[in-house]
Every structure is written in structure tokens, then in C-alpha cells.
Amino acid sequence: MTDRYAVIGHPVAHSKSPEIHAAFAHETRQDLSYERVLAPLDKFRQTVSAWRDSAAAGANITLPFKLEAFEFATVRTARASRGGAVNTLKFEGAEIIGDNTDGVGLCRDIVDNLGFAIVGKRVLLVGAGGAAHGVAGALLDAGPALLAITNRTLGKAEAIVEQLKLTGGGPDCEFRALELAALPAARFDLIINATSASLNANLPLVPVSCFAEGSLAYDMMYGMTATPFLKLAANSGARTADGLGMLVEQAAESFALWRGLRPSTVPVLAMLRQAQAVARPRN
Ligand code: NDP
């Protein structure tokens, strides 16, 4: 019988996960299907329960439900507990296993695909939703000199810092929440936009002065055109990257959890970049 998976979120129409998992399944000869499931904002539990009851094998969870998914899981992996967020569910008998592959996906894209070493760098994580919760621990484990987390609602950034402290902190690295007002006086080597502002073509409140010479600006959002955040960063001389590589890398890690096999990410990312280039509006 074909094993069924889905990405569950709100919105999900833009998600490239079905194409990615179809490519992984083709390469590794796995019999599975993968679809998009839109969950009403107030009905996450009901939607996931119905998906599980339909004899599905698992799901990816996307915005804004990653913190709710953590609560929904009956068993959580260490990396999910590190940030208190879940992006991957595996249904195994009576158990609902909750994992988080966003952090490893982000770090693999930045370090391996983009060739940018995080160790010893000053890192700013902008946003404190499910995605930021999921990646903060992995960023800390990558050994930056500083990990600062900022958000328009500062209390949520402070909650991530507290969660990191509870799960062991980081190796010789300073990490703290930073209020938006402190940003104009700060410089960073790596600035990661983990807000959903780009989904509505909005710009999080990051001043141009934050970008140091040779810095990398990374937007977790991906699409046909550069986001306002990436345009701002490029105009200030920073190197830029969107979140397509992270999407493919985190998907490979979810696939490995579900299927026990690690698919190749390089050809899938190249295929998506090609499609992105073809569809890009010309002016
Ligand atoms: P959540 O809804 O959980 O969190 C949203 C975050 O964005 C909050 O910190 C919120 O701030 C902030 N925010 C929303 N609008 C604005 C705005 N206009 N200005 C400033 N801050 C804003 O979403 P997720 O954390 O799950 O996802 C965040 C983004 O990351 C999405 O774009 C998602 O698509 C992307 N993503 C990409 C992945 C990839 O593989 N490439 C993987 C995971 C996520 P506040 O707390 O104040 O409300």
C-alpha cells in the first residue's frame, strides 16, 4: 500500500514540499504520496488527527503550527525538545513522534551548500515563531561567537533563549534576546530572516547598518523574486540567499526519518533553481 504524507499548514498552497518528496521517492524507489493539507487556524489538532486517522504515515508541519505540533506529539526527539517546536510527525502505532529537521536543514544549506562557516561568527536570528524555535539550537551548536534573537514581540525571543538554557546552552557562545531598538548599534556576519513578513512582501525591522562587510543575509522564505529583506541586504552589499536550499535539506532529513534512507539533495535543489529561473518575471 502507498504510504501517505502531507505538509499541513496555513497557508500551504505555495509549498514546494510535494515536488521535493516526489523527487526523493523517485530517486530512492519508495512507494509514497505527498500532498498539501490546509488546516483552519483554529483547527490544527482536528486536522492532524483526521489526517492520522486516514491511515497516513506522517506529516510535515509548517507555519503557524510548529509549536502546537510539539504539544501534539506523544514522543519528541532531542532536537525537537531543544527548541520546543516540531516540523515532522511520524505516526508509529499509538505514538506520534515529533522531530525537528529545520535546524539541520538550515545549517547544512548555509555551511555545505553556500560554503559559509557559522563557527566564530556573529549571528542575528530575526523572528521568534515556530521556525526560529526550530533552528536556534542547531545554530548555537554550530559554534557562533554570538547568537542574538530579535522579534517585534520581544517576549517570544526571550522564551527561545530560556528554552535554550533549559536544554544545555551552547558551546562557549554568547546567546541572548535583543530588542529591535538595539539593532542600529550592532553588526552581524549572518542575519537570518525567520519571520513570515516576506510572505506578505513586508520587511522586518532590520536596519541596513546591521550588515557587516562580507555578511550573509538569509531569508527562510523562497519564491520567484527577491524578498524586500534580501533586496535591502543586497543594496547594502551583503551576500544573499533564499530558503530554497533549507527547504530541500530539511525535507531530506524528514524523508530519512520516515523511510530510513537519505536522498540526494543537490539534484533536487538544482531542479528547483532551474524552475525558479524559468518562471522569474523579466523586466
Ligand atoms: P510563525 O507564524 O510561527 O511566526 C511568524 C514570525 O514572524 C513571528 O516571529 C512574528 O512576529 C513574525 N512576523 C510576522 N509578520 C511580521 C512582520 N510584518 N514584521 C516583523 N515580524 C513579523 O511562522 P514560522 O516561524 O513557522 O515561519 C516563518 C517563516 O519561515 C515563513 O515565511 C516560513 O515560510 C519560513 N520557513 C521556511 C522554511 C524553509 O525550509 N525554507 C522552514 C520553516 C519556515 P510576532 O511574534 O511578533 O508575531
Three state DSSP letters for 176-219: EECCHHHHHHCCEEEEEECCCHHHHCCCCCCCHHHEEEEEEEEE
pLDDT attached to residue 283:
55
Which residue type occupies 177?
Answer: A
Q: Angle CA(87)–CA(132)–CA(34) in degrees, nearest 5?
A: 25
Query: Which of 245, 247, 222, 256 minimizes the C-alpha distance to 25?
Result: 256
| Model confidence at 281: pLDDT above 80 | no
Q: Identify the residue whose cell numbers are 559554534.
A: 143
What's the CA gap between 126 and 274, in Å, rounded? 29
What three-state secondary structure class fits 282? coil
Find out whether 73 and 52 touch, Cβ atoms under 8 Å: no
For the residues 186-210, what does the mean pLDDT come to?
A: 90
- In sequence order, which residues have a C-beta less than 8 Å from that of residue 50 and are 6 or more positions away? none
Mean per-residue pLDDT over the chain, rounded: 94
Q: Which of 68, 60, 57 is nearest to 92 (CA)?
A: 57
Instruction: Give 36 Cα–ligand 1 centroid separation in angstroms.
Output: 19
SS3 at position 97: strand
Question: Among residues of the chain, what percentage have pLDDT more than 70?
Answer: 99
Residue type, 261: L
pLDDT, tens digit (0-9, with 9 covering 90-100), for 144-158: 999 999 999 999 999
Prediction pTM value: 0.96
Lowest mean pLDDT across 26-40, 50-64, 221-235: 221-235
Q: How far is CA 253 from the centre of its chain?
A: 12
CA of 127 to the centre of ligand 1 (A): 6
Q: Looking at per-residue confidence, does 7 or 212 come out higher?
A: 7
**Domains in the chain and their CATH numbers?**
3-100+250-279 (3.40.50.10860), 103-242 (3.40.50.720)
- Closest residue (by CA) to atom 45 of ligand 1? 153
Helix axes of 266-279 and 244-259: crossing angle, nearest 10 degrees? 140
CA 162 – CA 96 distance, rounded (Å): 26
Q: Which atom of ligand 1 is nearest to the CA of 251?
A: 40
Best of 152, 161, 195, 273 for a ligand 1 pocket test (most atoms within 8 Å of beta carbon): 195
CA 130 / ligand 1 centre spacing (Å): 7
Please state, in angstroms and rounded to a whole number, the distance separating the CA atoms of residues 170 and 120.
12
